[in-house]
A and B are shown apart, each in its own frame.
Chain A
Amino acid sequence: MLFNSIEYLIFFPTVFILYWLLNKDLKKQNLLLLVASYFFYAYWDWTFLSLIIYSSFIDYYIGIKIYETDSVKAKKNWLRLSLVSNLGLLAAFKYFNFFTESFAEMMLLFGWQVDAITLNIILPVGISFYTFQTLSYTIDIYRGNFKPTKDIIAFFTFVSLFPQLVAGPIERASNLLPQIEKVRKFKQKWFHDGIFQITVGLFRKVVIADNLGIYVDSIYASPDVHNSSTLLLATVFYAYQIYFDFAGYSDIAIGSAKLLGFKFNQNFKLPYFSNSIADIWQRWHISLSSWLRDYLYYSLGGSRGSAIFTFRNLMITMIIGGLWHGNTWNFAIWGAIHGLLLVGEKIIFLTLKIKNAGWIGYIYPFCVVLLSWVFFRAQDFETAIQIIKKLIFFEFKIPFVGDINAIVTGLAMLAIGMSFDLYLFKTDKDLETLGRTFSPLKLGVIVSAIILLTSLFYSTSNNFIYFQF
């Protein structure tokens, strides 16, 4: 079920009403959430629901086992089992074809012709998100940072809670599970925050991102026929499309959760106002970047060694982070580019003994990130290289405009979106807590204005981009 669908508009208020009617009985409330979450997922494809149940069951059981076992070796073995089970699911459903095709290509380099066995596998929506979420639970227990829950309904609800089930934010058990296990109280200010954030999120997605996507899709469908200016414009549009698409999704997720009395962590913090590459990664898809930092980068040793060792760890983390997004080399390259940028930036900052690059820091991160988005969006590696070449050996020509109405609407809505972000940046405010600062009257007027703008300028487009990951 999509957040920007009529179904969700019926589903959410129904759950909301039933949920708060049951607020004197935590168990029933959690059971309702679990059933609603499974329904939410099954509405897309019920067959893959079994994977979520499998993943939940494995980690529920292993979590208890790790905690109850005194032997370090046995703890490690249980953790291994959790890793193999969850990553095995990912490997089977997401990376099987990637591995076999890459293996066949590698063999070809040595002159051996090997037929790649590929399977027609459908990627279950949200698998990358919920497997990482459940993994964090067992790893935290293994590290002694968290006690397992014995409430199976609470745990299953933690894994599948519908606002964050299919595209995050990847919530840690340490944040979400205690909230599920405790009685939630309806808070008026959270209600205001939630209503406002959902409306803004919807606007970001269906108005800004989807309008920009019209131009991006038309140009990236056949980049070979377009000139440098056109490709640059389409890539800039894509940079904002993916930001507003995913930030919009996160806003609706966080806002919906707030209406149910849950506080999710912030997932986007105005990433295009970053003053370094490292800063971007503290602002973009925060739940994933912090997951990679805490469970991968630190596990590899983090920065507790020589500079070379730290750089190696950064590169591995970023490449795996890239591959988390998709099962093609383009994503690995995208991750590697970010790894190299982080390493390069670290070296420069260390050499010059500076903490940031001053005002230049607000420009170059966007420019280099822009180039990396080409790998994210292009159909394949060859196409990405073709586009990068045209962007590097830039030849200014009049860009192709196409549907003038769509491009003007896209630009106008982008201007509104960026002005709002600039306002948040200048005033150091968070969207997550902005709703409560308005009086009910003001909030009502602002939300009505956003609804009006949405009616006038929404675009019907594809799913949320991050669903494919």
Chain B
Amino acid sequence: MNKKQLIKSLKLIAFIVVVSYVVDKIVYYSITKISDTVYSGQAIGKLNHYLSIKDTTKLIVFGSSRANHHIDVKKLDASSFNMGVDGKFIAYSATLIKLLPKDLKQTVILQIDPDVAYREVYNRLETKTLMVKYHSNPIIKEELDRAELTTPFQKFYWCIDYNGLALGILKNAIFPKYDLDTYYGYDPMEVHSTQKEIFKNILERNDSIVCNTNLKINPLFNSYLKEVESFCTANNKKLITITTPIYIDKCPEDNMALKKTLEDLNIEYHDYTNFFKDNKHLDYWVDIAHMSNKGAEAFSEALSKDLNIYDE
């Protein structure tokens, strides 16, 4: 390689670096502008919605799809929001809880599952979708850095914040799906024929399950739990943890262990895993871990009576 070739090659590399950097920033700010107007969709829309209501809402439910599709929060409190999101666990919920206003009296219902709490490996990967706020929200940035989910490239290419989400954002910006004024985060699930067939096949297969015998709470899960508890205690929030029903629980040991852990931490816990133990009507279920709209309505009614928060 002679000097002329070296200069030519370096120029090309430098040009690529500069152009890609500039294009990245233009696209990043354009997507951010669009993204901030989006209120449809679970990953971005719901997060934006949450950020807009979190300072004024009395009761908020956090958790996974088993919170999102199972708890009709309006049955619990008129001023409420269900911030359950598919595939999100305690790290995601804890990060969002930490965004709540200090000193405002609020009820936080955190849906948790024993099988997640006692997983040997829990990598917090689900918090990756919060990346869309990485460069705009310092609390989220801190949590994501702590979870080591960012890549070194992200410091340079900010568009990585929107990795895998850009098409969804555009779609939801062009075709918004719901009314911001009436939506309150609860997404009941209708069972369609394909899903029904799959669930029936799974039940017929009757897979054997190996229960986790090492009932040592995942350290990460435990630390998030403690953080949520101390945040709520310090900031005038009432924390209630619950486990929503599943179709059949073949491993009750982890439920008992979780109950004990939460008792030790002095956290209120309600375990509804076996709520439908004597009612195996398939119309109540979409799959083993998810209730249909019918099941969710029945459960929410009962939850409302049980927690009795409405009048507080």
Please report A residues at the B interface, Cβ cutoff 8 Å: 6, 20, 23, 186, 188, 191-192, 195, 224-227, 230, 397-400, 405-406, 408-409, 412, 440-441, 443-445, 447-449, 451-452, 455-459
Contacts and interface: CB of A to CB of B under 8 A. Distances in A.
A254 to B, nearest CB: 18
Interface stretch (B74-82, B135-143, B154-162, B234-242): B154-162
Interface in B183-200: 192-195, 197-198
Nearest to A400: B194
B196 to A, nearest CB: 11
Given A452-B23, A455-B24, A225 B159 contact: no
13 contacts: A191-B9, A224-B205, A225-B201, A400-B198, A405-B43, A405-B164, A440-B15, A443-B12, A444-B16, A448-B20, A449-B23, A451-B20, A458-B163
Interface residues of B, number: 38
Contact of B159 (A224, A230, A443, A456): A456
Given A6-B151, A443-B12, A398 B193 contact: yes
B162 A456 contact: yes
A354 to B, nearest CB: 43
A398 B194 contact: yes
B20 A447 contact: yes
Contact of B23 (A225, A448, A459): A448
Contacts of B19: 444-445, 448
Nearest to A408: B167
B302 interface: no
B159 A20 contact: no
A399 B162 CA distance: 28
Contact of B167 (A227, A412, A451): A412
Contacts of A448: 16, 19-20, 23
B206 interface: no
Given A400-B198, A405-B164, 17 more contacts: A186-B2, A188-B5, A188-B8, A191-B12, A195-B12, A230-B194, A397-B193, A398-B194, A405-B167, A440-B8, A447-B20, A452-B20, A452-B24, A455-B24, A456-B162, A456-B164, A457-B166
B1 interface: yes
Nearest to B199: A225
Contacts of A458: 163
Given A448-B19, A452-B23, A457 B194 contact: no
Contacts of A451: 16, 20, 24, 157
B157 A224 contact: no
Given A227-B194, A398-B192, A447-B20, A408 B168 contact: yes
Nearest to A405: B168
B34 to A, nearest CB: 13
A343 B140 CA distance: 61
B289 interface: no
Given A188-B8, A449-B23, A451-B20, A441 B162 contact: no
A444 B198 contact: no
Contact of A456 (B8, B20, B151, B166): B166
Interface-central residue, A188, A448, A456, by most chain B CB under 10 Å: A456
Nearest to A186: B1
A455 B160 contact: yes
Contacts of A447: 16, 20
B121 interface: no
